[in-house]
Structure 1
């Protein structure tokens, strides 16, 4: 395809606008100065890897090959593991040097190791898509010892895989530089090992920040009155580390629009830190239902912030509607809201529906309607 004359190519681009028009114009831009291998590389990246012409040109400056045998073998490894074409394209766009890797000596041993520890093909694809350069790490010098460190810390390979899946950088970064210092700080502050494991397992991404910010946030959480010995301490640490200061202020403002003072917001945060992890729209929708539909004073919710965190459609609206009826009948008090929302489905129906059918026969119909079960 590279034997077209410049005149012929210009003629094609002027008279027609085929799907490859941008590709042809791009080739003209560098055909006079590029090598044969670079031209082949660009063509391969576009036609076999799904890269755009612009991405292919940029990638060709980082990797070159004259025959398709090596890159075909690399792509074959990914296809054999069930990687989707879009995933392969994404990986190679971000890290084209993988196409020069030796599949048998470089890629397969690393993939086989991860799979031997329990990662599924689906999990492997997500991991490599998230951090393509993870396959550039040394198997013996990095991947094996890093995985074993995480596994020993969390006390099982299964939990290590779960933690890595949630925070893929955990396996890529050097734990001695990025994980160990923060864990040492947590231990020094009196955080129990079980709570450290919880933080690593579910919120490992917070460890990849500047150490001064981690230390400053820990001090801030302490100043708010959280006890390092309790799980709420690491939950609060995770919540604050996961957002910018401007986002934190905006969420205080959202609660403020429902009459909460900043002190009430902080009190609610101490009671249930995840109330500040909700989106602004979720906070607004839940507060609107409790205040404007159920008729509760917003201060009632500030004392029970857990109530805001449940699913609006599957929990808050159906059960809140039952709560509204019972409240209007005077057979229940606002303090029962948290219990009503947290009990199991079976207990909820027994305690708050069946028990009060005599006083409010419409309860089951109201609940079924809000759950979308009405006939």
Structure 2
């Protein structure tokens, strides 16, 4: 029983004993119709079905005692027949014991759903639309209540709408894996009003597709919050027709106002004005997605280790997003040698950091080996330290 926000201690203790016995292999589920143990018979609020349900959730489904007691407030059964069939279907479809425990704990009602009439048709539908078995496990594990949604009235039309937005079935699968809530929520609330806002502001279909495909979580905002973010990005100087607009929108939606202000403060400690922060954000929105500690570490390295003016970084904010140990330090070690020998100029630093590995080796290492033979070994050493 659950009283005034507390778990019934008798049921919790029973479930804990059941868990210990299950792990030792000494527990068998009580037969349907069996009498509860004396501990439960002492409670006038306890019932035989709930006793059976709690033990089943612990022993067969792998729930913790507390989770089992909580779930037993939402479902109750006396026979393992239907739950056993459900668990058999989930195992057959590739769900691990841990994943089953998570799904059942968050959506206990799945145990009472008909495997053949309710669950299997939904799983087969997703499979027919390009979801692999592992994709289905991933999506359902992320949003177990998907299994409660109507196939014909919700799941099919919702996936059709996502396909319409991203144009290809495989992209709809990818978008759904990144944000399973898009499959679960009513598109009339989650997607349609926000897509309309983007279109009204001149965001082209290709950029809307990019948002849905890669940044679906931004649509979890309310329509009012979403519209406010769109207006804020426009006020920062982004053109809705450009891809940078949707990137900035994703970053803005991922930051609270206090977090945004704190990051302005971090850059301010290195001499950037608010206008320079805004300019850097327009050039490379991801510079505001970096953590405060990452910003501090990268700025400290460039200013105090490389001796650069901090405003040099404001002109090239893309470097803020790069890995300090796997990209910046190894490549800057090479660049510093080249700089000391007068073989490169400071303005080439950003290029050396952002080019692909093969081009960096070709343009900043091998072509200078006659004048600086230590470069390759130096670079390998620094990369080894980063691995």
TM exceeding 0.5 = yes
Q: 5 Å matches for 1:122-271?
A: 122-271=134-283
Q: 1:340 and 2:352 equivalent?
A: yes
Shift of 1:361: 2.4
Partner of 2:321: 309
1:66/1:244 CA distance change after superposition, 3 Å = same
Deviates more, 1:274-283 or 1:221-230: 274-283
1:295/1:43 CA distance change after superposition, 3 Å = same
Q: 2: CA distance between counterparts of 1:29 and 1:262?
A: 69
> Any conservation in 2 of the 1:31–1:39 contact (CA below 8 Å)?
no
Shift of 1:254: 2.0
Q: 2: CA distance between counterparts of 1:123 and 1:271?
A: 36
Alignment deviations for residues 172-227 of structure 1 (CA, whole Å, 9 cap, x no partner): 01112210111111111111110010011000111111111111111111111101
Q: 5 Å matches for 1:313-328?
A: 313-328=325-340
> Any conservation in 2 of the 1:49–1:88 contact (CA below 8 Å)?
yes
> Any conservation in 2 of the 1:290–1:320 contact (CA below 8 Å)?
no
Q: 2: CA distance between counterparts of 1:72 and 1:100?
A: 10
> Any conservation in 1 of the 2:49–2:77 contact (CA below 8 Å)?
yes
Partner of 1:354: 366
RMSD of Structure 2 on Structure 1 (CA): 2.6
Alignment deviations for residues 82-125 of structure 1 (CA, whole Å, 9 cap, x no partner): 11111111111111011100000000000111112111222212
Partner of 1:329: 341
Aligned to 1:282, the other structure's residue is in SS state helix
1:31/1:114 CA distance change after superposition, 3 Å = farther
Deviates more, 1:357-366 or 1:269-278: 357-366
Shift of 1:28: 4.1
Q: TM-score, normalized by length of structure 2?
A: 0.87
Q: 2:80 aligns with which of 57, 68, 71?
A: 68
Shift of 1:340: 0.9
Q: 2:117 aligns with which of 105, 108, 118?
A: 105
1:63/1:252 CA distance change after superposition, 3 Å = same
Shift of 1:315: 1.5
1:242/1:309 CA distance change after superposition, 3 Å = same
Partner of 1:6: none
Q: 5 Å matches for 1:270-309?
A: 270-309=282-321
Q: 2: CA distance between counterparts of 1:121 and 1:275?
A: 37
Q: 2:70 aligns with which of 42, 53, 58?
A: 58
Aligned to 1:243, the other structure's residue is in SS state coil
Q: Which runs of 5+ in 2 are unaligned?
A: 1-9, 28-35
Shift of 1:31: 4.5
Deviates more, 1:258-267 or 1:221-230: 258-267
Q: 1:90 aligns with which of 102, 126, 149?
A: 102
Q: Which runs of 5+ in 1 are unaligned?
A: 1-8
Q: 2: CA distance between counterparts of 1:346 and 1:39?
A: 64
Shift of 1:316: 1.3
Deviates more, 1:109-118 or 1:338-347: 338-347
Q: 2:57 aligns with which of 24, 45, 53?
A: 45
Q: 5 Å matches for 1:11-30?
A: 19=20, 28=40
1:161/1:211 CA distance change after superposition, 3 Å = same
Shift of 1:20: 6.0
1:27/1:270 CA distance change after superposition, 3 Å = farther
Q: 2: CA distance between counterparts of 1:50 and 1:100?
A: 17
